[in-house]
Amino acid sequence: MNKLSIVVPCYNEEQALGYTNAELTQIINKLVESGKIHKASFILYVDDGSKDSTWNMIEGFRKQYPFVFGLKLARNVGHQNALTAGLLAAMEYADMVISIDADLQDDVSVMEEMVDRYREGCEIVYGVRNRRDTDTLFKRSTAIGFYKLMKLMNIDIVYNHADYRLLSKKVLEQFALYPERNLFLRGIIPSIGFRSAIVKYDRKSRVAGKSKYPLGKMFAMAFDGITSFSIQPIRMITVLGLIIVLCSLCAAIYALYSYISGKVVAGWTSTILSIWFIGGVQLLSVGLIGIYIGKIYVEVKGRPRYVVEINDLTEIDHEEQ
């Protein structure tokens, strides 16, 4: 009933993986011994097209431990896709999955708490960072900006939560119904629903190796997150267009007034009027077209409209009717 899978996306993690495997095998043994998880629980390493010896290491662990498995992707597809590959593969064989990065920045000891919450009936347990002391000031402030921006764009995400979380099979089955290609798990998971909880931990610095998320990738991720979740930017363009059209009315009054009072050179009034008015109308039109494209975008993603938690109708015996 309580079969756990720990899914770890790895990209060029040869320096960190030895430490990570030692900690994860230890925690899985501990949880099995305490009877909180089934003894067939396992760790799944996803090699995201690493160019170093990551896969060889995973194969080594596989030989050493019966509960370690590997999934090798044919090329590097990025953290979110690699994680999704792992989640969907593990889903078939587990009742709950915990995803964690390969660099031990997230505290593995709170996995026990996550499992406890699951056993109490939570379907999603978010790992939330208590402090960000180990991150640089820059990373901290960009992160705060990121959450503010997300809020502005109407995207519901859990504050200070990255991709360290427990998901039940039920949630994963729903997640599998999201056919979209632009993945932003931190946005999708809360949008599914179900009972959830958070557990807090202190985020540490990387155990070894370098971050695979340099500044460029971080911005790309934030931009991706916004554009795959929100058509708010398009709405903003439309509003801006409307504001400019309104401003053009004020500009028109001013220009006409100047014209009547005879203070202007010939041609100025018509030029200034056209610039303002045409500019506003163009922006408004682009925004309106954008809104239709936004709707197409939402339709194309084909996300489920709702997720059913309990349906009593399924208990009706069809034979009796």
Q: Please report, as ranges, the residues that interact with ligand UDP according to CB under 6 A.
A: 9-11, 13, 48, 76, 78-79, 82, 101-103, 105, 211-213
Cβ nearer to ligand UDP, comparing 9 with 290? 9
Contact between 182 and 228 under an 8 Å Cβ cutoff? The reply is: yes
Q: Which tokens in the block code for residue 72?
A: 């090798």
Residue 11 interaction partner, one of Mg ion, ligand UDP, none, beta carbon < 5-8 Å per kind: ligand UDP
Q: How far is 270 from 252, CA to CA, in rounded Å?
A: 9
Residue 13 is a binding residue for Mg ion (CB under 5 A):
no
Residue 12 is a binding residue for Mg ion (CB under 5 A):
no
* Residue 179: strand pairing partners: none
Cβ nearer to Mg ion, comparing 134 with 258? 134
Residue 103 is a binding residue for Mg ion (CB under 5 A):
yes
Q: Residue 39: count other Cβ atoms within 10 Å of its Cβ.
A: 12
Cβ nearer to ligand UDP, comparing 13 with 123? 13
Tell me how far, at minimum, the Cβ of 58 lies from ligand UDP, in Å. Answer: 12
Coil, helix or strand at residue 299: helix
Cβ nearer to ligand UDP, comparing 2 with 25? 25
Cβ nearer to Mg ion, comparing 37 with 104? 104
Residue 105 is a binding residue for Mg ion (CB under 5 A):
yes
How many residues sit in the footprint of Mg ion (CB under 5 A)? 3
Stretch that binds Mg ion, among 28-36, 71-79, 89-97, 104-112 (CB under 5 A): 104-112
Contact between 128 and 203 under an 8 Å Cβ cutoff? The reply is: no
Maximum Cα interatomic distance, the chain, rounded to a whole number of Å? 92
Contact between 70 and 58 under an 8 Å Cβ cutoff? The reply is: yes
Q: Residue 205: count other Cβ atoms within 10 Å of its Cβ.
A: 12
Q: Which tokens in the block code for residue 111?
A: 């996995």
Contact between 125 and 199 under an 8 Å Cβ cutoff? The reply is: yes
Nearest to 88 by CA among 208, 1, 23, 171: 171
Tell me how far, at minimum, the Cβ of 203 lies from Mg ion, in Å. Answer: 9
Residue 48 is a binding residue for Mg ion (CB under 5 A):
no
Residue 213 interaction partner, one of Mg ion, ligand UDP, none, beta carbon < 5-8 Å per kind: ligand UDP
Cβ nearer to ligand UDP, comparing 78 with 127? 78
First-to-last alpha carbon distance for the chain, in angstroms, is: 34
Q: Contact residues for Mg ion (CB under 5 A)?
A: 101, 103, 105
